[in-house]
């Protein structure tokens, strides 16, 4: 369609040049209307009266056309009106021709942009959020939460698609004390521990004893020795804890238990309100002092006794006289 129009403009230019070369010395405005010898237009009408200047496309060809000498523009416009596409024009050409004005020049490439009809190809990353933002889809990270240092908790804290890396899980380890060699494992609180340590999956710790070793695997040997002392008792069986009898203590010192100290075994019974012989009976078997005093007072003396855990002393009998009688007796008990 554009080729046809350009051919029309070229024909118009040739007609205008032909009119100018008839008489190059003649003034352009010497003839007005029929005064020049009649109608020179192609349609038989006087050009100036039938087609005033404002009706001619002077702006399209201001220098090459001669509007006062004929009506070539009118003839061309009537012969080639732009009233629609030719019958043999394809629908695609019609669509392009209608989309472009006559004077706009060749159709730019932007008129048909195949990429604009394929948003998925233009923005592939937006259609694949997992590839564009892998860290946001792994572990606990997401909007409002930044990656955190990796902890031993079964979670990808630093969002690198790895769980509990860099903590040495499964590596061999040496627990403290007697717990020995194990392997590194999570302790359930975000940290790690040796599997043979206290609380581990193969805990080897024991109660601390007085033996110069770290039995409870806490890094200390025989700590708190007062709690490591052992009771001891050398008395007859069945008497420990009865009456005055009690066990002693073997203190922990220098990695071993010392001799039994501070124990109390069975003792002879005394009148003291205590089960000294540890038989469950208090002050039994007390042997009183039967006689006391001199003279006739001795024979009538009151023996000693254990009363209420206290001993009552022997009491001599009463005086019988003043020795006035010659009977060979110490009647006044003065010896």
Which pLDDT belongs to residue 288? 86
pLDDT score of 279 more than 60: yes
Average pLDDT over residues 152-178: 89
Confidence band, pLDDT 50/70/90 cuts, at residue 115: very low
Confidence band, pLDDT 50/70/90 cuts, at residue 133: very low
pLDDT score of 131 more than 50: no
In a domain, 137, yes or no: no
pLDDT digits 0-9 by tens, 27-45: 444 444 443 444 444 444 4
In a domain, 213, yes or no: no
Cα distances from 177 to residues 172, 192, 202, in angstroms, run: 16, 18, 15
Average pLDDT over residues 77-105: 50
Q: CB atoms < 10 A from the CB of 34, how many? A: 12
Average pLDDT over residues 302-326: 84
The strand ranges marked E within the chain are: 172-174, 181-186, 192-194, 230-232, 248-250, 252-253, 256-257, 305-307, 310-312
In a domain, 315, yes or no: yes
Average pLDDT over residues 71-97: 50
pLDDT score of 182 more than 50: yes
Tell me how many domains the chain contains: 3
My answer on whether 6 and 97 are in the same domain is: yes
Sequence-distant (≥ 6) Cβ neighbours of residue 133 within 8 angstroms: none
My answer on whether 244 and 271 are in the same domain is: yes
Pick the residue with more confidence: 305 or 134?
Answer: 305
In a domain, 117, yes or no: no
Average pLDDT over residues 10-34: 50
- The pLDDT mean for the chain works out to 72
Cα distances from 59 to residues 48, 63, 64, 65, in angstroms, run: 17, 9, 11, 10
pLDDT score of 207 more than 70: yes
My answer on whether 259 and 329 are in the same domain is: no
In a domain, 129, yes or no: no
Sequence-distant (≥ 6) Cβ neighbours of residue 78 within 8 angstroms: none
Pick the residue with more confidence: 294 or 3?
Answer: 294
CA distance 318 to 324: 16
My answer on whether 237 and 331 are in the same domain is: no
Sequence-distant (≥ 6) Cβ neighbours of residue 12 within 8 angstroms: 61, 64, 65, 72, 73, 76
My answer on whether 241 and 295 are in the same domain is: no
Q: CB atoms < 10 A from the CB of 193, how many? A: 21
Average pLDDT over residues 120-135: 42
Domain boundary among 87, 112, 137: 112
**What is the share, in percent, of the chain residues with pLDDT greater than 90?**
30
Helix-then-strand count for the chain, H and E: 8, 9
pLDDT digits 0-9 by tens, 241-264: 999 999 999 999 999 999 999 999
Average pLDDT over residues 142-167: 84
16-30, 152-166, 218-232, range with greatest mean pLDDT: 218-232
pLDDT score of 184 more than 90: yes
My answer on whether 48 and 92 are in the same domain is: yes
3-class secondary structure, 5: helix
In a domain, 127, yes or no: no
My answer on whether 265 and 295 are in the same domain is: no
In a domain, 12, yes or no: yes
pLDDT digits 0-9 by tens, 98-113: 544 444 444 444 444 4
**Lowest mean pLDDT: which of 33-42, 80-89, 141-150, 248-257?**
33-42
My answer on whether 97 and 14 are in the same domain is: yes
CA distance 57 to 55: 7
My answer on whether 259 and 311 are in the same domain is: no
Which pLDDT belongs to residue 120? 47
Average pLDDT over residues 79-103: 51
- Residue 113 near residue 119, CB atoms below 8 Å: no
My answer on whether 323 and 234 are in the same domain is: no
For residue 3, give the nearest of 93, 91, 78, 111 by alpha carbon: 93
Q: Dihedral, CA atoms, 210, 215, 218, 222, nearest 10 degrees?
A: 10
139-148: Cβ within 8 A, 24+ apart: 139/163
Domain that holds residue 326: 287-335
pLDDT score of 169 more than 80: yes
Which pLDDT belongs to residue 148? 87
59-63, 86-90, 316-320, range with greatest mean pLDDT: 316-320
For residue 302, give the nearest of 313, 289, 293, 315 by alpha carbon: 315
My answer on whether 233 and 256 are in the same domain is: yes
My answer on whether 245 and 329 are in the same domain is: no
pTM reported for the whole predicted model: 0.40
In a domain, 122, yes or no: no
**Lowest mean pLDDT: which of 71-75, 169-173, 253-257, 329-333?**
71-75
Which pLDDT belongs to residue 127? 41
């Amino acid at each position: 369609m554009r080729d046809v129009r350009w051919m029309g403009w070229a024909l118009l230019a040739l007609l205008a040049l032909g009119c100018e070369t008839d008489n190059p010395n003649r003034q352009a405005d010497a003839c007005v209307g029929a005064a020049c010898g009649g109608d020179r237009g192609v349609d038989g009408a006087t050009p100036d009266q039938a087609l005033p200047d404002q009706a001619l496309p002077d702006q399209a060809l201001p220098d090459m056309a001669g509007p006062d000498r004929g009506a070539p523009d009118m003839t061309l416009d009537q012969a080639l009106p732009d009233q629609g596409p030719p019958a043999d024009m394809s629908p695609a050409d019609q669509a392009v021709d209608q989309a472009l004005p006559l004077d706009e020049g060749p159709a730019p490439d932007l008129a048909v942009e195949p990429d604009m009809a394929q948003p998925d190809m233009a923005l592939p990353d937006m259609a694949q959020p997992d590839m564009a933002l892998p860290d946001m889809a792994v572990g606990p990270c997401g909007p409002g939460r930044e990656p955190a240092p990796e902890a031993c908790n079964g979670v990808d804290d630093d969002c690198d698609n790895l769980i509990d890396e860099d903590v040495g899980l499964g590596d061999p380890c040496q627990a403290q004390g007697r717990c020995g060699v194990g392997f590194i494992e999570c302790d359930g609180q975000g940290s790690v521990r040796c599997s043979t340590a206290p609380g581990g999956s193969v805990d080897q710790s024991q109660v601390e004893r007085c033996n110069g070793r770290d039995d409870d695997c806490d890094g200390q040997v025989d700590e708190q020795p007062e709690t490591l002392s052992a009771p001891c008792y050398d008395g007859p069986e069945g008497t420990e804890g009865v009456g005055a009898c009690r066990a002693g203590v073997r203190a922990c010192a220098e990695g071993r238990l010392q001799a039994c100290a501070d124990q109390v075994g069975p003792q002879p019974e005394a009148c003291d309100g205590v089960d000294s012989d540890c038989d469950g009976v208090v002050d039994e078997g007390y042997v009183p002092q039967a006689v006391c005093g001199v003279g006739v007072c001795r024979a009538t003396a009151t023996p000693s006794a254990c009363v209420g855990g206290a001993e009552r002393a022997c009491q001599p009998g009463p005086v019988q006289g003043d020795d006035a009688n010659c009977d060979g007796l110490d009647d006044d008990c003065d010896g």
